[in-house]
């Protein structure tokens, strides 16, 4: 295990009042804060359970506090004991409240003596929302079962009892036992050379929020990709993944040059089975990634740029509530673009920025006004629902605007200082803006007005003067697409032979939502998009073809939907199918076969879509 790099960031110690009210947690950090977690878990694949104990180190804030309140969801609590400063343990009384559909069950532990630690013995349930259990048949190599977590946004509470709020940060150690031949990894320092002996220990020396707590276990091999990085994946996948992500060290160095030292020691990647519902999850030290990135030409490696960027924006400086999530995702999407530009060139970075900006322009007007704001007013939505296109794409667009107004050199220096100042802290939008005004606007007057900042952050929509990058190749595609739709250029004459993934994405994104069926078939006859192994292209292609009424693609679309559990790449196809009664019936058949391989979050999204479609009479 390589030593991590200790950094002197000069972090600001936040007062108790800085703990933002979190409507998605029962925790009471004004009374007591968890500062460290010790986990001791056994992975039980036959019963699909984690069995063990969590020991929480406590920092009491209120001398009159009588209880410790934790977040749980569907945990079976066996016993709880308090441990005093001398190490003496004694049983504690506790009460588990009735289950709330979103928040789970409030766990109240009577602690009038303010123990230094509390130890909870518990077991998870097979349906834990933050865990997915896969049979060997659902994996790539079909040899061993697989289990992985997805704690964001408030699903950590389904496998560990804790204060499940991004405002509360803790270090952790873990001891995990598993069947031999099963490798275990966590969002901590991992050892690629660890023997497969069923006994693993982990350390996360930096304070992290609960949504970054992660675990994975299965038939996992490891292959080094650099002096401080490795790829972990099933044996049949690991070589391909290592080749796809061989530039990881270059990405780390590019980010460090811009924003200061990488604080976490190692940056490893776990490529999960296809059921993983997201493109990537920025778990510290161990990004979890979808296999849909493995297209063979590194064209989708920007997702790794994004997850790496979270090592500064999100993991190092974290949004204190889910309302402030743009501080994670908007900043990260901006930093991702800068890393991509440094390693792969400005044209690719500009193309990806344009793809996201154009997509946002299409959809933002149909959102409720409050949902269009970077920092919305209280709205009573679920924590998972806060992760919208607005947080990612409007947030990064705002930062690109400031970069243009203040100049790249000035803005880079500001952002580097921002990450250092708030390192290992969770902050609100208002704290970020206070720092922004004092350290960028007041020091560089006349570049941008504060009214413009307020418009970006607190008003709906996108400011009319929001700048867009240039892409001559996209401009050429716009002309070709227009000529094709007008009938003056046939599909086989499109200059698409050398198009990159991003250029095909842009061409397909620009087609009318309901493209004439004859145009769809012309494209397929010329370019054979049906059956493409590229999931980004496939999602766009099948969505357009289904909507156009082309039943010739249905079976290939079903294969895509069954093979891929990533929400972003699967849900658009379901949405296209449910527009017609026949399509809805077909989608339900596909889902019946695919459901067992989907993550609970994907299952929930598909079933909600079906219910809505049936209710509307489709």
Binding residue per annotation — 352? no
Q: What is the dihedral of CA 532, 533, 534, 539, to 10 degrees?
A: 60
DSSP state string for 319-368: ESSGGGTHHHHHHHHHHHHHHHHHHH-HHHHHHHHHHHHHHHHHHGGGS-
CA nearest neighbour of 602 among 579, 573, 580, 570: 570
In DSSP notation, 381-403 reads --SGGG--HIIIIIHHHHHHHHH
202 three-class SS: strand
392 catalytically annotated = yes
Q: What's the confidence (pLDDT) of residue 19?
A: 62
CATH of the domain at 418: 1.10.390.10
CATH number at residue 533: 1.25.40.320
Assign residue 305 the CATH number of its domain. Answer: 3.30.2010.30
CA separation for the pair 380, 102 (Å, rounded):
12
- 89 and 51 in one domain? yes
Which one, of 327, 304, 312, 329, lies nearest residue 387 by Cα?
329
The mean per-residue pLDDT over the stretch 181-188 comes to 98
Last residue of a domain, one of 276, 311, 346: 311
186 and 48 within one domain: yes
Q: In which element (H, E) is residue 531 found?
A: none
Considering 165, 200, 218, which residue would you say is the last residue of a domain? Answer: 218
Q: Are 53 and 45 in contact (CB under 8 A)?
A: no
Q: Average pLDDT, stretch 325-350?
A: 97
Kindly report the number of other CB atoms within 10 A of residue 229's CB atom. Answer: 21
Q: Which of 10-14, 185-189, 283-287 has the lowest mean pLDDT?
A: 10-14
- State the average pLDDT over residues 163-192: 98
Reported as a single tens digit per residue, the pLDDT across 94-134 is 999 999 999 999 999 999 999 999 999 999 999 999 999 99
d(CA 363, CA 381): 19
Q: Of 152, 307, 352, 503, which residue is the catalytic one?
A: 307
Tokens of 364: 């933002």
**Residue 536 counted as an annotated binding residue:** no
d(CA 538, CA 199): 41
Is residue 1 assigned to a domain? no
- Is 249 annotated as belonging to a binding site? no
pLDDT, one tens digit per residue, over 557-606 is 999 999 999 999 999 999 999 999 999 999 999 999 999 889 888 999 99
Two tokens at 470?
């240039």
Could you tell me which residues come within 8 angstroms of residue 415 by beta carbon, excluding any fewer than 6 positions away?
258, 259, 335
Percent of the chain past pLDDT 90, that is, above it, reads 93
Question: Per residue, what are the HEC states of 286-301?
Answer: EEEECHHHCCCCCCCC
Stretch 7-15: mean pLDDT, rounded?
Answer: 35
Whether residues 254 and 198 share a domain: the answer is no
Question: What is the pLDDT averaged over residues 356-363?
Answer: 95
**Tell me: the pLDDT tens digits for 406-427?**
999 999 999 999 999 999 999 9
40 and 85 housed in the same domain: yes
Q: At what angle do helices 567-577 and 554-563 cross, to 10 degrees?
A: 150
Q: Is position 245 within any domain?
A: yes
Q: Which among 392, 418, 506, 542 is annotated as catalytic?
A: 392
* pLDDT band for position 160 (cuts 50, 70, 90): very high
Q: What is the pLDDT of residue 381?
A: 83
SS3 state of residue 576: helix
Band (1; pLDDT cuts 50, 70, 90): very low
Q: Once rounded to an integer, what is the mean pLDDT over residues 386-393?
A: 94
| Tokens of residue 79, six digits | 């016993």
Q: How many domains does the chain have?
A: 4
**Cα separations in angstroms, 477 against 29, 204, 473, 498:** 53, 47, 6, 12
Residues in the chain: 618
Query: Which domain does 201 fall in, by range?
Result: 23-218
On whether residue 13 sits in a domain, the answer given is no
Find, among 318, 340, 344, the residue nearest to 329 by Cα. Answer: 318
């Amino acid at each position: 295990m390589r030593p991590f790099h200790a950094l002197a960031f000069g972090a600001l110690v936040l007062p108790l009042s800085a703990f933002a009210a979190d409507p998605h947690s029962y925790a009471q950090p004004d009374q007591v804060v968890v500062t460290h977690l010790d986990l001791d878990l056994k992975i039980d694949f036959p019963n699909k359970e984690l069995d063990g104990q969590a020991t929480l180190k406590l920092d009491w804030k209120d001398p009159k506090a009588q209880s410790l309140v934790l977040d749980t969801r569907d945990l079976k609590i066996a016993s709880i004991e308090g441990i005093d400063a001398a190490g003496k343990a004694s049983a504690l009384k506790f009460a588990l409240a009735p289950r709330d559909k979103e928040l789970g069950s409030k766990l109240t532990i009577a602690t009038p003596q303010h123990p230094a630690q509390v130890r909870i013995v518990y077991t998870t349930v097979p349906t834990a929302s933050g865990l997915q259990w896969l049979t060997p048949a659902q994996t790539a190599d079909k040899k061993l079962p697989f289990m992985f977590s997805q704690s964001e946004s408030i699903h950590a509470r389904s496998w560990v009892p804790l204060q499940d709020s991004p405002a509360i940060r803790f270090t952790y150690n873990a001891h995990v036992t598993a069947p031999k031949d099963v490798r275990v990894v966590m969002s901590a320092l991992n050892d690629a050379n660890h023997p497969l002996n069923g006994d693993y220990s982990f350390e996360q020396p930096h304070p992290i929020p609960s949504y970054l707590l992660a675990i994975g276990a299965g038939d996992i091999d490891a292959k080094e990709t650099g002096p401080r990085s490795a790829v972990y994946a099933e044996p049949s996948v690991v070589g391909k993944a290592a080749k796809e992500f061989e530039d990881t060290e270059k990405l780390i160095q590019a980010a460090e040059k811009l924003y200061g030292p990488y604080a976490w020691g190692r940056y490893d990647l776990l490529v999960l089975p296809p059921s993983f519902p997201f493109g990537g999850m920025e778990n510290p030290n161990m990004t979890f990634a979808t296999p849909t990135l493995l297209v063979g030409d590194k064209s989708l490696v920007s997702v790794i740029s994004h997850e790496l960027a979270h090592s500064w924006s999100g993991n190092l400086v974290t949004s204190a509530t889910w309302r402030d999530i743009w501080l994670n995702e908007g900043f990260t999407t901006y930093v991702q673009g800068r890393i991509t530009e440094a390693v792969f060139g400005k044209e690719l970075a500009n193309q990806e920025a344009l793809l996201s900006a154009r997509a946002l322009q299409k959809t933002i007007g149909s959102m409720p006004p409050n949902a269009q704001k970077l920092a919305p007013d209280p709205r009573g939505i679920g924590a998972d629902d806060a992760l919208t296109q607005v947080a990612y794409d409007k947030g990064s667009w705002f930062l690109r605007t400031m970069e243009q107004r203040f100049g790249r050199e000035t803005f880079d220096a500001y952002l580097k200082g921002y990450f250092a100042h708030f390192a290992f802290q969770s902050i609100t939008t208002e704290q970020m803006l206070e720092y922004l005004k004092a350290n960028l606007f007041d020091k560089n007057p006349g570049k941008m007005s504060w009214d413009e900042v307020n418009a970006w952050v607190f008003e709906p929509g996108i400011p009319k003067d929001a700048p867009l990058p240039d892409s001559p190749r996209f401009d050429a595609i716009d002309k070709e697409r227009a000529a094709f739709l007008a009938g003056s250029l046939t599909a086989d004459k499109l200059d698409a032979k050398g198009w990159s993934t991003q250029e095909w994405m842009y061409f397909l994104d620009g087609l009318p939502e309901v493209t004439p069926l004859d145009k769809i078939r012309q494209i397929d006859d010329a370019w054979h998009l049906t059956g493409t192994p590229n999931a980004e292209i496939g999602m766009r292609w099948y969505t357009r073809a289904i909507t156009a009424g082309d039943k010739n693609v249905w079976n290939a679309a079903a294969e895509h939907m069954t093979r891929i559990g990533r929400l972003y790449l699967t849900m658009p196809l379901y949405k296209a199918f449910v527009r017609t009664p026949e399509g809805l019936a077909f989608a339900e058949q596909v889902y019946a076969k695919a459901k067992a391989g989907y993550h609970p979050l994907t299952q929930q999204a598909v079933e909600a879509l079906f219910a809505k479609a049936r209710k509307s009479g489709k």
